[in-house]
Amino acid sequence: MTLFTDFGLAQPILKALSAEGYEKPTPIQAQTIPYALEGRDVCGIAQTGTGKTAAFALPILHRLNASPKPRKPKSPRVLVLSPTRELSGQIADSFKAYGRNLRLSTEVVFGGVTISRQEKALAGGVDILVATPGRLIDLVDRRALSLRDIEILVLDEADQMLDLGFIHALKRIVTLLPKDRQSLFFSATMPKTISTLADSFLRDPAHVAVTPVATTAERVEQSVIFVQTGRKQVLLETLLRDPSIDRVLVFTRTKHGADKVVRGLDKAGIAGAAIHGNKSQPQRERALAGFRDGSCRVLVATDIAARGIDVEGVTHVINYDLPNVPESYVHRIGRTARAGATGLAISFCNDEEKAYLKDIEKLTRLKVPVMPLPEGLPAAPAASEAGERREPQRGRPAPHARGHQGHGQPRNADPNAERGPKRRRGRGGKPGGNAQPQGGQPSGNQQRPAQAPRPAQGQRPAQGQRPAQGKPASGRQDGRRGDGAQVAWLEKSPRRR
């Protein structure tokens, strides 16, 4: 077994890791750290949740610390490129946490906030800069930043970068970097477009890969409830009355949908917050902070906004809408299975979404167990049903007209949908591009049932089995606990062990 002490990392870094409570490296760390410490380029296939941030941050901190240099204004030594502001912030926080006993500075820059503060911070000199590509280029164009002294480059979540349209920015950035540098490149998937991009950044890289996408799905207990669109809100409220649903991420497909769900919860006396691309940075930060500290146990998010959100102790993921890209499903449910923890995911599926469910089951090679609707679930409020009917189904083909994978109309055609990952075609049922199923896993379209849903209360695994289980639900939710029939259903459900 590999230990952090086996890598020869500097003592102050090991001390910080103990303070973080990390006992041993995750597989991506065990594979990446030795190469990165040697100064080699690395090309890694790894998703968020595998511990890949530390896989690149630890060797970088070690190398900078081993060759200290005075800080130069506007000229960082390390550049980490990441696709979203949330992820950038989290990467910067990780560098600060692991480097807390070193004299190295980390700064993060992303769009959507005033640039002048970032210009000022860079002028003071920083060692490590974490950035989203667009804002990075703005800063270069304003001569607030030079990439001439970059010694180490990290490109994180490369597949998301391409999905979000950053390809031109990346091509430009590579021309601004010194040729003599170390580059570490990570992507959850490695189709041809990504490996071509990797080739333009890397020199003789070591290749590392972990956790095929399907294994994340295996760690999460899943279930699906078939429900009409108009009853989804009332179903959600019913489920949320179960106090064992401690810290829950609810996913909607659109930003508008996320706001609507939060408004509905508010009316039902359940505290929730939404996080999506139309929210300002302070609003997003407030929502995340409330979710982290347990004052708000329900966070409603779109896929893009949730990407990279790293909150420990998410007990449940609820897919209010099923995603039209099956990989998004795996990313979503992975929010509740961070760093080896297990979690529970419940998906609401209307008639239209049944095709999405099929695609998901094909990708994960797991059959999602069906949970019955709770007994006595109230009918949808009349207004909501009417509202649903009034909503035009723009750009969405009728279910019977929708071709299966790779045919028919694109599924991201809904103009209301938040810009998200494009559907990747031609990858068959295999997860993660070239990621292989683990030994003993059936291949092709054979399906095994996903783990049966976990019991609601009383029979759950000990706290210690999950990292930092959130605080028990408090305040307004508690007032609704004793709400008989629905909670009883959760406890009595035949599928629950």
Q: Which is nearer to ligand AMP, 336 or 405 (CB)?
A: 336
**Interaction between residue 22 and ligand AMP (CB under 6 A):** yes
User: 3-state class of 301 per DSSP?
Assistant: strand
β-strand pairing of 152-155 with 78-81? parallel
The nearest distance, CB 105 to ligand AMP, in angstroms, is 21
**Interaction between residue 187 and ligand AMP (CB under 6 A):** no
Of 49-57, 170-178, 196-204, 363-371: span binding ligand AMP (CB under 6 A): 49-57
247 DSSP 8-state letter: S
Of 21-29, 188-196, 205-213, 352-360: span binding ligand AMP (CB under 6 A): 21-29
Q: Using CB under 6 A as the criterion, what x/- string covers residues 252-291 for binding ligand AMP? A: ----------------------------------------
Which of 54, 202, 258, 363 touches ligand AMP (CB under 6 A)?
A: 54
Q: Which is nearer to ligand AMP, 26 or 347 (CB)?
A: 26
**Interaction between residue 52 and ligand AMP (CB under 6 A):** yes
Of 25, 2, 14, the residue nearest 340 (C-alpha): 25
Q: Which is nearer to ligand AMP, 80 or 417 (CB)?
A: 80
Angle at 428 between CA 213 and CA 342, to 5 degrees: 20
Q: Using CB under 6 A as the criterion, what x/- string covers residues 297-316 for binding ligand AMP? A: -------------x-x----
For residues 260 and 272, is the Cβ–Cβ distance under 8 A? no
The nearest distance, CB 344 to ligand AMP, in angstroms, is 18
Q: Which is nearer to ligand AMP, 156 or 321 (CB)?
A: 156
Of 33-41, 45-53, 101-109, 314-322: span binding ligand AMP (CB under 6 A): 45-53
Which of 113, 121, 206, 339 touches ligand AMP (CB under 6 A)?
A: 339
**Interaction between residue 247 and ligand AMP (CB under 6 A):** no
**Interaction between residue 49 and ligand AMP (CB under 6 A):** yes
**Tokens at residue 175, please?**
């021309």
**Interaction between residue 83 and ligand AMP (CB under 6 A):** no
Distance CA 247, CA 262 (A): 15
**Interaction between residue 89 and ligand AMP (CB under 6 A):** no
For residues 250 and 318, is the Cβ–Cβ distance under 8 A? yes
Q: Which is nearer to ligand AMP, 91 or 377 (CB)?
A: 91
Of 50-58, 135-143, 253-261, 394-402: span binding ligand AMP (CB under 6 A): 50-58
55 CB contacts (<8 Å, ≥6 apart)? 26, 28, 29, 31, 32, 33, 36, 44, 46
Count how many residues are written for the chain. Answer: 497
**Residue 307 one-letter amino acid:** R
Distance CA 288, CA 232 (A): 24
Which residues lie across from 44 on neighbouring strands? 186, 208
Distance CA 84, CA 277 (A): 10
Q: Which is nearer to ligand AMP, 25 or 431 (CB)?
A: 25
Q: Which is nearer to ligand AMP, 93 or 138 (CB)?
A: 93
Distance CA 380, CA 382 (A): 6
**Interaction between residue 160 and ligand AMP (CB under 6 A):** no
Distance CA 439, CA 164 (A): 34
Which of 31, 50, 252, 336 touches ligand AMP (CB under 6 A)?
A: 50
Distance CA 258, CA 283 (A): 14
User: 3-state class of 221 per DSSP?
Assistant: strand
Q: Report the half-sphere exposure of 398 (CA within 13 A, side-chain side).
A: 2
- Positions touching ligand AMP (CB under 6 A) are 22, 25-26, 29, 48-54, 310, 312, 338-339
